[in-house]
Amino acid sequence: MELFSWNPWALVAAIALGLLLISIVGDHRRRKRRDFNRPGFMPWPFITVMSGIVFLFGTALAIKLG
């Protein structure tokens, strides 16, 4: 008897949520930088959108298949 039955889609959704929160903070820091000539190299808006999509689909699949 297993105590917990782990759903792999819930793990995918949790990792995507963590990445989503990190990318939101990174994008906020990039927009509020002091030196506008040094924008950085991370595409924070793209990472935010993609991790949000993965989070939504992962959550939907975890609920549907879970």
Q: Show the domain range for 50.
A: 8-32+41-65
Tally of domains in the chain: 1
| Segment (H or E) for 50 | helix 44-65
Q: What is the CA radius of gyration of the chain?
A: 16
- pLDDT tens digits along 4-53: 567 899 999 999 999 999 999 999 998 888 887 887 889 999 999 999 99
Question: Is 3 a domain residue?
Answer: no
Residues 6+ apart with CB under 8 A from 54: 12, 13, 16
pLDDT for the residue 1: 45
pLDDT for the residue 39: 77
pLDDT for the residue 41: 87
Cα 59 to Cα 5, 8, 36, 45, distances in angstroms? 16, 10, 37, 21
